[in-house]
Amino acid sequence: EPEVTQTPSHQVTQMGQEVILRCVPISNHLYFYWYRQILGQKVEFLVSFYNNEISEKSEIFDDQFSVERPDGSNFTLKIRSTKLEDSAMYFCASSEGRGSNQPQHFGDGTRLSIL
Amino acid sequence: AQKITQTQPGMFVQEKEAVTLDCTYDTSDPSYGLFWYKQPSSGEMIFLIYQGSYDQQNATEGRYSLNFQKARKSANLVISASQLGDSAMYFCAMREVNTDKLIFGTGTRLQVFP
């Protein structure tokens, strides 16, 4: 069964450094998403992406964050000048369509630890 | 206000028994989708089942079924014939029609014992 692939599975970074999280969505999916889950808390929406541009973002997704689809398969989340509170599990997801009936399929996540 | 409420932080069930995980939601949109995800201890999020607001029948996927009561705004997940591998966190989520985002509840930790 096709799946969303995320790399790395675990990233440890010094505070203030930049980090890029990578995702390969399911190949026929057109809509891509990033979510994060701080340890022990809810999963929170960060951003959605379609047709090479951001379609929606949350208040968490400020200037520190950016997303890109650098080629036909990868979808990346860049976090600049990381802070301790950026430590979380980051999930990439994709869906075939945009409607409220479209399930979003998640990757296994990248656990980001900021030291 | 909470959009998705899961009132059971933890549930226990014996193997082979059925268990119901509660979820209530709040929306003024007439069109929305409700989803359940499983998160094992390894951390991945696994899509289980979907229910649309206009669906007349309750959704079923194998051992998973959704008890959808629209008037009560509840979408409880029923797992039949529980297995040890069902031990995980379970999240209820909703997507309204004019937004891309899934809104998640706080989750219920299910533990299946022999």
| Residues A21/A90, Cβ–Cβ less than 8 Å | yes
The answer to whether the Cβ–Cβ distance between B47 and A104 falls below 8 Å is yes
Number of A–B residue contacts, CB under 8 Å: 66
Cα A95 from Cα B79, distance rounded (Å): 25
Give contacts of A 47-106 with B, CB under 8 A.
48, 55-56, 58, 89, 91, 93, 98-106
Q: Which residues contact A102 (CB under 8 A, 6 or more apart)?
A: A31, A95, A96, B33, B95
Residue B25 pLDDT greater than 90, yes or no: yes
Task: Compare CB distances from B44 to A45, A58, A108 and report the shortest one's residue.
Answer: A108
Q: Which amino acid is at B58?
A: N
DSSP B42: T
Residue A17 pLDDT greater than 70, yes or no: yes
Quote the mean pLDDT of chain A: 93
| Strand ranges, E, within chain B | 4-5, 10-14, 19-21, 24-25, 32-39, 46-52, 60-61, 64-69, 74-79, 88-96, 103-104, 108-113
Cα A114 from Cα A10, distance rounded (Å): 11
Q: Higher model confidence: residue A23 or residue B44? A: A23
| Residues B21/B106, Cβ–Cβ less than 8 Å | no
Q: What are the tens digits of pLDDT across the range B44-78?
A: 899 999 999 999 999 999 999 999 999 999 999 99
- pLDDT at A63 (0 to 100): 94
Between vectors from CA B69 to CA B67 and to CA B17, what angle results, nearest 5°? 20
Q: What are the tens digits of pLDDT across the range B79-113?
A: 999 999 999 999 999 998 888 899 999 999 999 99
Q: Which residue of B has its CA nearest to A95?
A: B100
B91 touches chain A (CB under 8 A): yes
Q: What are the tens digits of pLDDT across the range A87-96?
A: 999 999 999 9
- pLDDT at B2 (0 to 100): 65
Calculate how close chain B gets to A110, using CA atoms only, in Å. 9
Calculate how close chain B gets to A22, using CA atoms only, in Å. 15
Alpha helices in chain A (DSSP H): none
